[in-house]
Structure 1
Amino acid sequence: MSGVIPDQVRRPAVFFDRDGVLNRDIGYLFETSKLVWIDGAREAVRAVNDLGYFAFVVTNQSGVARGLYDEGHVHELHAWMADELAKVGAHIDAFEYCPFHPEGTVERYRRQSHRRKPAPGMIHDLLDRFPVNVERSFLVGDQPRDLEAARAAGLKGYLFSGRNLETFVRPLLQIG
C-alpha cells in the first residue's frame, strides 16, 4: 500500500507567525503575563478551525539562543496560548519554533538552522506530519522573512499589518 494521501483527504492550512501576528511583538516574549493578543487573533484561529483548515504556528525564537529564556518557557507559553484559545472554541494543531541563531550566546543553539525563517524547515516539517493541501494553504506573517519561508515551501504568503487579524484572514479563507 502506498503512503500517498489522496487529495480529497488533504486539508488546507493556515500557518501563522506568532509575534506580531497572533500577539503583540514586544521582543523576546516568554511570560504569559506579558502576552497581549492582536485584535481578532483568537477569532481568526476559530474561523480557520470552523472551516476545517489546519491551524499552525511557525515562530523563530532566538531568545533561547541568546540565553534570555529556555525551551521550557516556549512550551509553557504555547500551552497557555492553547488554553486561552480553547476558551473561545479555537485551537492550534501544532506549534513549531526554531530556537537557533547563528549569533546566539548559548553554544548548543548557536548555529544556522534549516528551520529558522526565512528557511522553510518548520513548514516542511509540518507538511511531512500532516495531510495538508498546499495549493489551498497560506502563511500569515508580519516580516518579509515569513513570506520568504512561505514561498520557499510552495505556499502563498500574506503580510499582516497588525490591525485586526480576523478581518485580515477571513477574505483569504474565501480565496483558498
Structure 2
Amino acid sequence: MNRTSNQRPAVFLDKDGTLLENIPYNVDPAKMRFAPGAGEALELLARSPFRLVVVSNQGGVAHGRFAQEALHGVERQLRRMFERCGATLDAACWCPHDPAGHVMPYASACLCRKPQPGMLLRAGRELRLDLTRSWMVGDILNDVEAGNRAGCRSVLVDCGNETEWQSAPRRLPYAIVANLYEATQMIVERHAYESRGPRAMCETVLR
C-alpha cells in the first residue's frame, strides 16, 4: 500500500507506569499524576508530527473493580493533562477484558489485551496511521510485544515493573530507556534523521 500524505506516524503510550504513576486500578482523576519525565516528553512530542494514542489494559472492569464507564473520566483527565503540556491526545484505547476475571462479558479472551496488538491495529485503521513509522512505549514486555506485532518499533521503559523477562523475538525492544522523556528524545531524533532521506543519511555517514 502506498503511503499517503494523511498517513502520519504515532507514538502509542502505555498508561500506568509509563505515562502515569502506577496506582493499581485507579480511575480517580484526582489521583492521576505524570510518571517521571512524562510531562517533558509530551512537551517534546507536541512539537513533533506524531499522533499520540494511549493504549491500556484495563482488566479492572473484568474483575469488577470499576465500571467501564469510569474510563470516560480517565480519558477526559488525560486530555486535560496533555493540553497543559501543549499536546493533543488523539485517542485513548482501553481493553476491559481479562480471562481471569469474573464479570461477563469482559471475563474472556480477546484480540485487544496486550500483548495482542488489537488496540494498536484499530487505532491505525481509524486514525489512518503509518504503523511502520510508529512507536510503542511501555513499561513491560507485553507492551513491547503488542507494538512489535502491530508492525511498530517498541521501546521499554525499565522502571522496575517488568518481572517476567522472556527472551523471545516478539518481546525484544528496539531500545531500553529509563523513562518516557528519554524514549521520546530517541524517537524524535530518529524520526528527524530518517526523514532526511537516504541521500542525506549517506552524506552523514561519509563525512
TM (norm. structure 1) is 0.91
Quote the residue 1:124 is aligned against. 121
What is the distance in 1 between the residues matched to 2:135 and 2:84?
25
What is the distance in 1 between the residues matched to 2:2 and 2:91?
20
- Alignment partner for residue 174 of structure 1, among 168, 186, 189? 189
Q: How does 1:9-158 map to 2 (within 5 A)?
A: 9-158=6-155
Q: Which has the larger radius of gyration?
A: 2
Quote the residue 2:203 is aligned against. none
- Alignment partner for residue 159 of structure 1, among 153, 156, 159? 156
1:110-152 superposed Cα distances (whole Å, 9 cap, x missing partner): 1001010000000010111112122221100101111111111
1:40-94 superposed Cα distances (whole Å, 9 cap, x missing partner): 2123123223112100000000001100011121110111121122122112100
Q: Structure 2: which 5+ runs fail to align?
A: 160-177, 192-207
Q: Which amino acid aligns with 2:158?
A: S
What is the distance in 1 between the residues matched to 2:130 and 2:104?
38
**Over aligned residue pairs, what C-alpha RMSD do you find?**
1.6
What is the distance in 1 between the residues matched to 2:22 and 2:109?
23
CA contact (8 A) 1:14 1:137 kept: yes
CA contact (8 A) 1:13 1:133 kept: yes
* 3-state SS of 1:172 partner: helix
What is the distance in 2 between the residues matched to 1:166 and 1:101?
30
TM (norm. structure 2) is 0.78
* 3-state SS of 1:7 partner: coil
Task: Name which structure has the greater RCO, CA cutoff 8 Å, separation 6+.
Answer: 1
With 161-170 and 100-109 compared, the bigger mean Cα shift is at 161-170
What is the distance in 2 between the residues matched to 1:45 and 1:88?
6
Shift of 1:36: 2.1
Shift of 1:5: 6.8
What is the distance in 1 between the residues matched to 2:189 and 2:6?
19
CA contact (8 A) 1:49 1:55 kept: no
